[in-house]
Amino acid sequence: MIIGILGSGQLGRMLIIAAAQLGIKAHIFAPDATNSPAGDIAFATTEAAYDDHDALVAFANSVDVITSEFENVPATTLDILAKHKTVSPGIAALHTAQHRIREKLLARDLGIDTPAFWHVTNAASLHTAMTKLNKDGILKTCTLGYDGKGQVKISPTSDFDAVFASLESDDVILEEMIPFTAEVSFLIARARDGSSRVFPASLNQHKDGILDQSVAPAALDDKLITAGTQAVTKLADALDLFGVMALECFITDDNRLLFNEIAPRPHNSFHWTIEGSATSQFTQLARVLAGMPFGSVSTYGCWQMDNLLGEHMENVPALLANDQVHVHLYGKSGAKKGRKMGHTNRQIG
């Protein structure tokens, strides 16, 4: 069995490790496959552009199933590959997750609460939307934004023209600013036959727009856990998901869940599952891709995941010397501030 993986980063790397433990090989396809976190340990690599038709067909013919470790694979890439092999998470899931308006419209159509939002395509439409909002909001590019990039706060007293120009895009979403008490994520694994498993939820803390820490299972009341579980299941079914998908939500001051975004791939906030769950998110994805039965999503107590960014790398020797800490490094060169270089897991209960 050979899994084809689009992308060469740390999520692909951890999927390769999990798959290898099940006797499954991995073939990486990416423009930077050589000397990459995933490419360094893959069974095979193809270094080519995502629009290289001949390379994509050859890649598809060399593997049994194909998945993506990030959601911004060009739609044409998936269209080509889907003619030859089954693709995960599926074209609908990737297409929806690639655009903030599409994913929020889907959530709203499914009866999942979202913040108020408006599609903004020019400065004039921002003026109109801010008049309707009439309070603080956040302006985000509809595509490609991650880890706090491509977004800016805006208030009724802001220079709307200048704020709109700062994003350098004519495809933007304005969202109301949500007063929230916490951020939580839910992760589902879904097989080809529509059966699924949902992992225990993660409570998340961010710094400067980047996930800093996750604690799981989230200590939330049953109403919120049920609502999140039902929401991520509805979304996965509507998208005919094949693979894994995370749903990120806000918990409001009045104890409601509000949709934030989806990510149809393994998710940073569930890296704790590597040691903390009977089946990690990566092993579960490998099982799904290979047509194996689901593994248990039961946990071994309460766990904390902390991201290691470039500015944290000086702490690694001490972390490695701590027998209570599991250290995972991604093999990246160049430790830059804000760049995810690894993570740690530790049991806290």
Query: How does DSSP assign 175-226, residue by residue?
Result: EEPP-EEEEEEEEEEE-TTS-EEEPPPEEEEEETTEEEEEEES----HHHHH
- Nearest to 26, CA basis, from 85, 80, 67, 75: 67
Convert the pLDDT of each residue in 160-199 to its tens digit: 999 999 988 999 999 999 889 999 999 999 999 999 999 9
pLDDT, block means (10 residues), the chain with 349 residues: 97 98 98 95 98 97 97 90 97 94 97 96 94 93 75 92 91 93 97 98 94 97 96 98 98 94 97 98 98 98 97 96 97 92 97
Which domains are assigned to the chain? 2-87 (3.40.50.20), 116-176 (3.30.1490.20), 180-347 (3.30.470.20)
CA 247 remoteness from chain centre? 8
Specify the pLDDT at position 43: 97
Specify the pLDDT at position 115: 95
- H or E element, residue 123: helix 123-133
Specify the pLDDT at position 72: 87
Specify the pLDDT at position 276: 98
**Lookup: tokens for 269:** 């906030």
Specify the pLDDT at position 208: 87
C-beta of residue 228 within 8 angstroms of C-beta of residue 187: no
